[in-house]
Structure formats: C-alpha cells, structure tokens
Amino acid sequence: MTDTRCTPAELQAFVLSRELKDGEMGAAGASAAIPMAAIMLARHMHAPDIQIAGEMFVNPRPRQLWDSMLDDRALGACEAAETFLELFGHSHRGLDFFFHNGMQIDRFGNINLHFIGGSIDRPRMRGPGAANISYAGTSRRFYICTHAHSPRTFVPRVDFITSPGYLDGPESFHAAGLKGGPALCVTPLAVMDFDPDSLTMRLKSVHPWSSVEEVVAKTGFELGLPDRVPVTDLPDAGTLDLLRGKVDTAGLLRR
C-alpha cells in the first residue's frame, strides 16, 4: 500500500505538474528538484510531449532527483547537450514555462536574490544572485516555488528586483515590455495566484496541513483573500506511485 500522505515538496511538485500543458517547452532552472519533478510527472501523466529545453540539456532522463538538477549526475542522459552560447538565444526567445525561487518575494511577484538591507555595495545580507534573470521577462509564464513561507520571504516590496514579476502593477508591467509574468506561487503551505486586474498575489488554495490563518500570518503583505479558499487537491495513490516510483526514486522530496 502506498502511503498517500504526501510531503509539502511532493504536493508542490504535484500542483505545478498540473499546470504544464502538452506540447509546451520549458525548463526547471538551478536548485530545481521540485520543478524538475513537476515536469517529469506531467510527462508521465497528461503531457508526454512536453519538451524540456532552454537550459543546457534537451529532454533529460534523470534516474533520480538531485538538489541541483544542473549537472551530469541528473542530466547526463539526455537527447542533446547545449552550452551557454545557445542559452543566450533561448533567453531571448523565451520558453512556455520556467520556475523561480526567491530570497524575497513581494505581492507583485517580484523576486530578489541579491541583497537585503544596506546598499548594493555594502548589503546587510548578500544572497547568491541569479544566473539567468531573463526567462522571467521573456517566457509565456513562470512559477514561483519556494522552500519557505515566512514574513521574511514574503515581503511588501523586495529590496532589489533580481527577476521581475509584475513590477508595480499593470501599468509598469506593460510599460516595461514584459511578457507573461508569474502565474502561480507555490509554497509548502499554500498556492497563490495573481488577481488579473491588480496583478497582486491572492490565496488560491491552502494545503491540508495549513490554514488560511497560518498563511496570512506568515505572509508579510496583505494577501488577496477570496470568499472561499479551498484545500489544495492532493495527488491520488496512482499519481503518488508515479511520482515516487518513476520520478523521485531517491526520495528527495520526502526528506
């Protein structure tokens, strides 16, 4: 019997997998165990024709998930290898979907990975920065997927825009010539989307182990709240079997 109680990371992968459509092309980015699991799961489920490309590998066949998902351990078996030269072109053409994490995320879905507090040359806290910031602005849509849901992560306004979300809202977003923007934000506690008019984040569903109250308390800005907030759908036993048996064979999402 499969244990159908899934972990937050497994649920995040499941939620994201259902967003990806057959025939689309996208990539997972660095430190991307959950996004890559989502893509692989979608391919097993409803989207066998998803093309994984745009980083430096095409349609990889990882035997297990790894924390990085950007080296030969995970991706050595694939249909083609590219380099950063080709990534330059992909970054301009954009993808159908991409994924981002953030050290700070604000209510417009802007992402900061550079620094918090102080100045750019003498920050209070320096983050890792980001390799590729362009997919946020050139892809049809991207997903924000975080390992933490806290007021430190979800802030009213990021100190520095590493990867743009909706900037200051519709006007600035369109003025900047950005495409797509963030579609969902999936955390260990909840799923958020963006109000189509204001482009601000709102609660979409709450994971069964959390509550609206907890999510609101752990979000550092005023989260949009619909009248009714459903509980996030859990994967059924067959889906969880696929996720554990075919995608996350090493149990990385169950740690």
Residues 125-144, interacting with another protein (CB under 8 A)? 125-134, 136-138
Distance (Å, whole) CA 148 – CA 185: 12
Closest by CA position to 124, among listed 156, 152, 148: 152
Site for another protein in 74-113 (CB under 8 A): 75-89, 91-94, 113
Distance (Å, whole) CA 178 – CA 165: 9
Other CB atoms closer than 10 Å to residue 1's CB: what's the count? 4
Q: How far is the CB of 215 from another protein (least distance, A)?
A: 26
Could you say whether residue 255 binds another protein (CB under 8 A)?
Answer: no
- Residue placing its CB nearer to another protein in the complex, 92 or 228: 92
Other CB atoms closer than 10 Å to residue 64's CB: what's the count? 13
Could you say whether residue 162 binds another protein (CB under 8 A)?
Answer: yes
Residue from 18, 44, 157, 202 touching another protein (CB under 8 A): that is 44
- Residue placing its CB nearer to another protein in the complex, 132 or 219: 132
Q: How far is the CB of 254 from another protein (least distance, A)?
A: 16
Q: How far is the CB of 77 from another protein (least distance, A)?
A: 6
Tokens of residue 133, six digits: 């910031």
Could you say whether residue 230 binds another protein (CB under 8 A)?
Answer: no
Could you say whether residue 13 binds another protein (CB under 8 A)?
Answer: no
Pairing of the two strands 104-105 and 111-112: antiparallel
Distance (Å, whole) CA 203 – CA 236: 23
